[in-house]
Amino acid sequence: MSLTRRQRALQSGKDASTSLIEFPNGLPPAPPTKHREKLTEVEQQLKKAEAAQKRRVQVAKAAKESEAEAIRKILGQDSNRKKREDKLKKRRDELAKEKAANAWTLPPNTIRWVIRPTRTFITFSEDVGLPSIFSSKPCRLSSSRGCQKPSSIHMRGMSSTLKHFNTHLQRPSLLSSETRLKMERMSKPLDWKLVGCSIANEARLNSDIAKLSLSGSNIKVSADEKSSSMSLPEEQKRMSLVGRKKNFECVERVKGRRVNVLQGLELHTRVFNDEEQKKIVEYVYDLQRMGQSRELRERTYLEPQKWMRGKGRVTIQFGCCYNYAVDKKGRPPGIIRDEEVDPIPPLFKSMIKRMVKWRILPTTCIPNSCIVNIYNEGDCIPPHIDHHDFVRPFCTVSFLTESNILFGTNLRPVGEGEFSGAAKIPLPVGSVLILKGNGADVAKHCVPAVHKKRISITFRKMDDSKLPFKFSPDPGLQGIQPLGSSQMNKLPAQQVPSQQNSQNQNQMSNLQNQNRLSNSQNQNRLSNAAPDTARKMSRSPTQFGNDDFPPLCATR
């Protein structure tokens, strides 16, 4: 039998009367061993519960913290993080700025043409070497057009010095970035030359067209100006080669009277040489492409639907909006004063200058508008008299293919785009036909369906009372002087030997007198001529003899 420790102790006490410890009130209660074990379990459970609770609290706390962290993140309240982000953003901005600044730095021998809604930027690479006018302080030329949203060309050189020129060659709002890039690529070489034109046109009113661009092919302005500029003797030589026919005759009976219906016409040949013609034609094509991609103002470019042979001539008009026929709004033919088109481009202004300087157009009638006609094979311009919203004389310059222009009081259709008339004048390429007098106002004219592609540019001055409301004169077309007058006198002596100069002037005034005389003689002759003679003359108005092309200002 197993004994408890107490029983064992009692037993041992019985055995020894000399016990050291006595318990008079009985033994103290034995320690409750089982109870103690039970409590420990509870305690343990409690402890476990406490620990579990602690863990729950910790988990909840961690969740709360991460939630708070997330909220802080969202609200951007983590100052360190924010600082880092700010720094990054700043760097990004700096890089963007750097990139923008570098965007203007071009590879060598390059020009960038960027069209912005309000202005056009032209940037030259360092090595292009802009002429000294670009190292002057930026200056703004007064607006040459009173257009609503004038855009300007900003010429950027190495030190970002700018020149501002007006341009309306595009409808910025319609330009896609793709078109801009295309245009940049497409027009670089030609625009470059145009830029050259602008520079010289705007900077030096009376400088020569050849100096500007037409005969130069170099890409650099400075080189271009140097290599292509014609010296005065060279220019005089070119001018002396111009053929001038002024005695066209074709008699028709008008209101019972015999009239030379070609009186007043003049044909000036070899005004623009092959190279110049090529550049002008290329430029016209560029304008056409711009028109097709709607980069020109709305009424500038017109490409009618080709609904029959002869009808479909493309026109590009500058300076004013001319209405060919009663339009949708019921407006009659003539200049629409409240419509705007693009202004005359620099290259065409250079042509005008040459024609005035070379005494083809009078200084009193400097054109301020022009229309480009692009005839594809089979296209024609039907019989008409140019509207009197345009003053006389006006002129038309021919390119690509020689075609006939018909004149007569009665031009009859004889087929699709074909006409018959009293007189026909072949228009050689590079020639200028001046229309005034009976040739402009008594006879009608037309160009029958062309056999090969042809381009003509008609330059006209608007009647002052018909100017578009927002028109303002182009400073580049003011004060042009004919060669041999003030222009020559202004030149330094070493450039023009004084003897040669005065000789030229004498020859010129003699010739002018001769021309004036021969014109009046012709008129007298005509009015007195027998009907037969007049008819004979009218049959061959275009048989030119050597005398028909007297050099006006010979330097030989």
Ligand X SMILES: O=C(O)CCC(=O)C(=O)O
The Cα–Cα gap between 527 and 397 comes to: 31
Residue reference for tokens 């012709």:
522
Residue 269 engages ligand X in binding (rule: CB under 6 A): no
Footprint of Fe ion on 378-397 (CB under 5 A): 386
Tokens of residue 256, six digits: 């019972």
CA angle 347, 164, 294 (to 5 degrees): 55
Q: How many CA atoms lie within 13 A of 182 on its CB side?
A: 12
Closer to ligand X by Cβ: residue 395 or 534: 395
Selection from ligand X, Fe ion, none that 456 binds (CB < 5 to 8 A by kind) is ligand X
Footprint of Fe ion on 92-111 (CB under 5 A): none
Q: Which residue's C-beta sits nearest to Fe ion? A: 386
Candidates 221, 405, 467, 480; binder of ligand X (CB under 6 A) is 405
The Cα–Cα gap between 393 and 362 comes to: 8
Footprint of ligand X on 352-381 (CB under 6 A): 371, 373, 381
Q: How many CA atoms lie within 13 A of 198 on its CB side?
A: 23
**Please, what is the minimum distance in Å from the beta carbon of residue 415 to Fe ion?**
21
**Please, what is the minimum distance in Å from the beta carbon of residue 373 to ligand X?**
5
**Please, what is the minimum distance in Å from the beta carbon of residue 298 to ligand X?**
20
Q: Count the site residues for Fe ion by CB under 5 A.
A: 1
Closer to ligand X by Cβ: residue 144 or 396: 396
Footprint of Fe ion on 445-464 (CB under 5 A): none
Q: Which residue's C-beta sits nearest to ligand X? A: 456
The Cα–Cα gap between 277 and 271 comes to: 10
Selection from ligand X, Fe ion, none that 405 binds (CB < 5 to 8 A by kind) is ligand X
Helix (H) or strand (E) holding 254: strand 251-254
Tokens of residue 38, six digits: 């039970």
Residue 340 engages Fe ion in binding (rule: CB under 5 A): no
Residue 323 engages ligand X in binding (rule: CB under 6 A): no
Residue 395 engages ligand X in binding (rule: CB under 6 A): no
Residue 235 engages Fe ion in binding (rule: CB under 5 A): no
Looking at this protein, which amino acid is placed at residue 353?
A: K
Residue 265 engages ligand X in binding (rule: CB under 6 A): no
Residue 555 engages ligand X in binding (rule: CB under 6 A): no
Q: Is 233 helix (H, G, I), strand (E, B) or coil?
A: helix
**Please, what is the minimum distance in Å from the beta carbon of residue 447 to ligand X?**
5
Strands 243-245 and 151-156: unpaired
Selection from ligand X, Fe ion, none that 317 binds (CB < 5 to 8 A by kind) is none
Q: What is the dihedral of CA 81, 85, 90, 92, to 10 degrees?
A: 150
**How many other C-beta atoms are found inside a 10 Å radius of the C-beta of residue 355?**
25
Residue 271 engages ligand X in binding (rule: CB under 6 A): no
The Cα–Cα gap between 416 and 403 comes to: 17
Residue reference for tokens 């910025």:
172
Question: Binding string to ligand X for residues 426 to 465, with x set by CB under 6 A, is what?
Answer: -x-----------------x-x--------x-x-------
The Cα–Cα gap between 526 and 250 comes to: 9
Give contact residues for Fe ion (rule: CB under 5 A): 386
Give contact residues for ligand X (rule: CB under 6 A): 371, 373, 381, 386, 396, 398, 405, 427, 445, 447, 456, 458
